[in-house]
Amino acid sequence: MFFRNLTLFRFPTSTKLDDLDAGLQECALKPVGALELSSRGFVSPIGRDGEDLSQRQGDAIWLTVGGEDRLLPGAVVNDMLARKLEEIEQTEGRKPGGRTRKRLKDELITELMPRAFIKPSRTDALLDLEHGIVVVDSSSRKSAENVSSEIRRALGSFPAMPLNPEIAPRSILTGWVAGEPLPDGLTIGDECELRDPAEQGAVVKVQRMDLDNDEIAKHLETGKQVTRLALTLDDHVSFVLGEDLIVRKFKLLDGAVDQLESTDHDDVRAEMEARFVLMSGEVKRLFAVLQSAFKLSAAD
């Protein structure tokens, strides 16, 4: 398992997690009910064969929020509702009012819900106890906040907050592309997004291009600012960093993966645990670079 996107939150390193395992058990995923649209709760990070709802390696904890969603397309409900309304109009010679429409729609949903397909899902999260960060494998702030809320539900209290940079990320990213020194280990990749700061201003997206060229320089001269930038850290990980400080397209490179391939694992569980150790180590190194570059405030 390797995360593909990283949305980060900070929490006080003094947060007590002694009751975490008990809380996870109380908030374990329950099958979605016959008349429920969705259900959320914790599942084993290892998969269906796993029993523990958390995996801990050193000061890193791996959690997984599972979900079950009933797929009941609105178009299907609306089509059946339209047919019923048409039948009533033909039979009674009148158009049903708003209350009747709502009642019929609720009855249809109740009738169809138990027969709807169930779609399973999972979202992984890493708790770094050393730095006090939660890393959620999602590029959606809302989805990541939902995972943080599930952790809060399990613990009773969990003051996780979004990253708070003291320096505007857009100005830092723009400076790097303009030629300002990058933090040690970071190199610029071949992808970026530039935006005119004016409302409804132009947006330029560049991919698979050397960013140290006249075309990019001209965009910067006209006042455009970098809002997303592809970067590489020590030839171990590549990623695209946005001004929202969400890390997208996170990928471990050969320099990191070679460490995994050089070890011997007898079973799937051991291999997944080794992957988690490797990934959590790279995420910690990346966070340390971001914390320094953007002056991220601590949660304590």
Looking at the chain, the whole-number percentage of residues with pLDDT higher than 90 is 58
Q: Report whether 29 contacts 41 (CB < 8 A).
A: yes
Instruction: Note whether residue 252 is domain-resident.
Output: yes
Q: Which domain holds residue 188?
A: 169-294
Contact 219, 204 (CB under 8 A): yes
| pLDDT reported for residue 261 | 62
Give the mean pLDDT of 246-258: 85
Q: Does residue 39 belong to any structural domain of this protein?
A: no
Name the residue with tokens 């099958």.
31
Give tens-digit pLDDT for 273-282: 888 888 999 9
Q: pLDDT at residue 292 above 80?
A: yes
DSSP 75-126: HHHHHHHHHHHHHHHHHHSS---HHHHHHHHHHHHHHHGGGSEEEEEEEEEE
Band (260; pLDDT cuts 50, 70, 90): low
- 291-295, long-range: CB within 8 Å, 24+ apart, which pairs? 291/131, 292/183, 293/172, 293/183, 293/186, 294/163, 294/165, 294/166, 294/167, 294/169, 294/172, 294/245, 295/165, 295/166, 295/167
173, 243 contact by CB (below 8 A): yes
Band of residue 246 on the pLDDT scale cut at 50, 70, 90: very high
pLDDT score recorded for residue 4: 95
Structural domain contains residue 10: no
Question: Does residue 195 contact residue 222 with C-beta atoms inside 8 Å?
Answer: no
Query: Is residue 91 one of the residues assigned to a domain?
Result: yes
Write down the pLDDT at residue 264.
56
Residue 211 domain flag: yes
- CA 221 from centroid of its chain's CA atoms: 34
> Do 194 and 277 fall within a single domain?
yes
Q: Under a CB-based contact definition with an 8 Å cutoff, are residues 296 and 164 in contact?
A: yes
Does the residue 214 lie in any domain?
A: yes
Which sign, positive or negative, has the C-alpha torsion 225, 227, 233, 235?
negative
Residue appearing with tokens 């080794």: 274
For the segment 231-236, the average pLDDT, to the nearest whole number, is 92
Res. 104 pLDDT band, cuts 50 70 90: confident
Tokens of 134: 């939660």
Domain shared by 180 and 287, yes or no: yes
Q: What is the structure's pLDDT at 266?
A: 60
Domain count within the chain = 2
Question: 187 and 108, same structural domain?
Answer: no
**102 & 183 share domain:** no
108 and 174 both lie in a single domain: no
Instruction: Tell me how far the alpha carbon of residue 146 is from its chain's centroid.
Output: 10
What ranges make up the beta strands (E) of the chain?
7-10, 38-43, 55-57, 60-71, 117-128, 133-136, 161-162, 186-195, 203-207, 225-233, 237-242, 247-252
Percent share of the chain, pLDDT over 70: 95
pTM of the entire predicted model = 0.86
Tell me, yes or no, whether 61 lies in a domain: no
**pLDDT tens readout for residues 11-31:** 998 888 888 999 999 999 999
179 and 255, same domain (yes or no): yes
pLDDT in tens, 146-197: 999 999 999 999 999 999 999 999 999 999 999 999 999 999 999 999 999 8
Q: What's at 115, amino acid-wise?
A: R
Query: For residue 89, what pLDDT is reported?
Result: 81
Listed residue (19, 300, 3, 4) closest to 160, CA to CA = 300
What angle is formed at CA 247 by the lines to CA 246 and CA 248, rounded to 5 degrees?
110
